[in-house]
Amino acid sequence: MGCDEFGWYSEHMLRPKVGGAFIFVWRDFSMREKLEQLGKQALSALDAASSSVELDELKVRFLGKKGELTAILKQMGTLSAEERPVMGALANEVRGRIEERMAARRGEIAAAEMEAKLANERIDVTLPGARRPLGHRHPMTSLLDEVKDIFIGMGFEIVDGPEVETTFYNFTALNTSENHPSREPQDTFYFSDDVLLRTQTSSVQARTMEKRQPPIRIIAPGRVYRKDEVDATHSPMFHQVEGLVVDKGIKMTDLKGTLDLLFKQIYGNDTKVRFRPHHFPFTEPSAEMDLQCFACHGKGCRMCKGEGWIEMLGCGMVHPNVLRICGIDPEIYSGFAFGLGTDRMAMWRYGVNDLRLFFENDMRFISQF
């Protein structure tokens, strides 16, 4: 600090010094000088402050009701009428300067304080999270949901039917003759002569057509049962999705297009399927659809047992006899139907090599999905 011709002060003169005494030099300053002095003092005190608490103290000291600025202004009465407005303006200017600096300092100090606080609150983010684990969906359900979504997008509804079923809906209404081998007790679980565990979701076809007239676009996912011993590719209980479309002008190329789309959606756009003739009592023409082996692209490998293709489903145009049995005129309407074996689809979709895993409910398996 320097001095000027009107007098001088240095900061230490106004403040108690540790171990020292108050040294108070008083000269007969004019009010102008007092104000200017106060301003300088306040600014340098603000610059020196290091916490928001200190800032608050300085605000009281300089700008408070009993503060130093107020004390100076109280002496305004001793001034002449000309001096008063001049000093008043100066006082406001000094106040402004102090307030401005105080605001600036407040911002700086708050930022520094926040920084320090945050530094202090640092944690080790590599420690494990306190997880509340979600449950897992069975892969079978995931695949079913995927299939449902695709068909809903094509305007299909999802219908349900009983698993304990009559031979009528499971066979007879599906044009399956009394002596058809699929009826044999070696393939089908029976409760009585005419009640069984449905062997195919096709049973829902007849139940649906009986209840309503075309247009019909449904899929019927569900459990089906056949008398197969459990092994890596067989289970006495497995899943199918039956599809049925009946309307005017439904054709076999629609069947091909629909299934082609489904499999491209599920397995990717480069998926190849092929259709070849087959026989089902409830469709005519009938087909089986094969999926080209992903592993060898049709060349034949261990995965597809050298075939190059994996048998995926049976399908065909709804047999006119079935339409008739269900009260739909085959001269007006036609339709197609298919039965997807979704267990096999899920196995291929997720690379599962043993069907038994689907029904053992081992969390080490299910939690992978």
Partner 1 sequence: MKLSRKWLGEFVDVADIPDSEFGHKMTMTGSIVESVESAGDAVTGVVIGRLDAIDQHPNADKLVVCTVDVGAEKKLTIATGAKNVKVGDIVPVATCGANLPGGHIEATDMRGVVSEGMLCSMDELGLDNRDLPFGNPNGILILNDPESDLPLGDYALGQDVRPLLGLDDRTAEFEITPNRPDCLSVIGLAREVSATFERPLTLHTASVSGGAGKIEEMLSVEVAEPELCPRYTARVVVDVKIAPSPAWMRERLRASGIRPINNIVDITNYVMLEYGQPMHSFDYSCLDSGKIVVRRAHAGEQLATLDSKPRTLTEDMLVIADSSKAVGVAGVMGGANSEITDATATVVFESANFSGPSVRRTAIALGMRTDASSRFEKGLDPENTIPAVDRACELVEMLGCGRVLDGIIDIDHTEYSPKVLPIEYDKINALLGTEISREFMRSALVRLGFGVDGDSVTVPSYRMDVEQMADLAEEVARMYGYDALPTTLCSGSATVGGLTERQKIENQTTANCRALGYSEVLTYSFVSPNFVAKLRIPEDSPLRRTLKILNPLGEDTSVMRTTALGSVLEAAAKNAAARVSELRVYELARVFRPIEGEKLPDERKQLLLCTYGADVDFYALKGDVEEILAGMRITGVRCRAYSEDGAFHPGRCAVVESNGSCLGTIGQIHPQVAEEFGINIPVYAAVLDYELMLESMQPEATFKPLPRFPSTSRDMAVVCDETLPAGDLLDCVRESAGELLTSAEIFDVYTGTGMQPGKKSIAMSLQFRSDERTLTDAEVDACFAAALAALEKKFGATLR
Near partner 1 in 243-262, by CB under 8 A? 245, 247-254, 256-258, 260-261
**Of the residues 15, 17, 276, 299, which one makes contact with partner 1 according to CB under 8 A:** 276
The Cα–Cα gap between 137 and 179 comes to 41
CA neighbor of 169 nearest in space, from 196, 138, 140: 196
Find all residues with CB under 8 Å of 278, minimum gap 6, and list them.
Answer: 286, 287, 288, 314, 316
String of DSSP letters for 56-100: HHHIIIIISTTSHHHHHHGGGGGS-TTHHHHHHHHHHHHHHHHHH
User: Distance between CA atoms of 338 and 149, rounded to whole angstroms?
Assistant: 17
Rule CB under 8 A: is residue 157 a binding residue for partner 1?
yes
**Interaction of residue 158 with partner 1, rule CB under 8 A:** yes
By residue count, the chain amounts to 369
Kindly state the tokens that stand for 307: 């075939």
Q: Which lies closer to partner 1 via its Cβ, residue 2 or residue 133?
A: 133
Q: Which of 59, 73, 166, 296 binds partner 1 (CB under 8 A)?
A: 166
Contacting range for partner 1; rule: CB under 8 A; set: 38-46, 51-59, 119-127, 268-276: 268-276
By the rule CB under 8 A, 70 interacts with partner 1: no
Q: Which residues, 6+ apart, have CB-to-CB distance to 294 below 8 Å?
A: 267, 303, 348
Contact 169, 237 (CB under 8 A): no
**What is the smallest separation between the CB atom of 80 and partner 1, expressed in angstroms?**
59
Of the pair 27, 299, the CB lying nearest partner 1 is at 299
Q: Does 146 sit near partner 1 (CB under 8 A)?
A: no
Q: CA 227, 229, 232, 233: dihedral to nearest 10 degrees?
A: -20
Rg (CA), the chain: 45
Please say which residue, 43 or 290, places its beta carbon nearer to partner 1.
290
Closest C-alpha to 339, from 315, 309, 319:
315
The reply to whether 65 sits near partner 1 by the rule CB under 8 A is: no
Nearest approach, Cβ of 194 to partner 1 (angstroms)? 7
Q: Are 267 and 348 in contact (CB under 8 A)?
A: yes
When binding is defined by CB under 8 A, the residue of 10, 30, 233, 367 that contacts partner 1 is 367
Nearer to partner 1, 102 or 173 (CB): 173
Candidate segments 1-9, 18-26, 108-116, 189-197, binder of partner 1 by CB under 8 A: 189-197
Q: What does the per-residue mask of binding to partner 1 show for 205-234, with x meaning CB under 8 A?
A: ---------xx-x-----x-x-x-x-----
Interactions with partner 1, residue window 289-318 (CB under 8 A): 317
Contacts with partner 1 by CB under 8 A: the residue count is: 85
Does position 181 interact with partner 1 (CB under 8 A)? The reply is yes
CA distances from 344 to 87, 241, 353, 366 (A): 96, 12, 10, 17
| Among positions 274, 303, 349, 350, the unique one binding partner 1 when judged by CB under 8 A | 274
Q: Of 79, 77, 59, whose CA–CA distance to 69 is shortest?
A: 59
Of the two residues 117 and 364, which places its CB atom closer to partner 1 in the complex?
Answer: 364
One of 73, 237, 266, 296 touching partner 1 (CB under 8 A): 237
Which of 213, 220, 171 lies closest to 193, judged by CA?
171
Instruction: Pick the piece of the chain touching partner 1 (CB under 8 A) from 1-9, 51-59, 72-80, 144-152.
Output: 144-152
**Quick one: which segment of 1-9, 81-89, 148-156, 344-352 binds partner 1 (CB under 8 A)?**
148-156
| Ramachandran angles phi, psi of 57, nearest 5° | -60, -45
User: Binding string, 311-350, against partner 1, x = CB under 8 A?
Assistant: ------x-xx-------------x----------------
Residues numbered 103 to 122 that lie near partner 1 (CB under 8 A) are none
Task: Give me the phi and psi of 238, to 5 degrees please.
Answer: -145, -170
Q: Which of 191, 211, 212, 297 binds partner 1 (CB under 8 A)?
A: 191
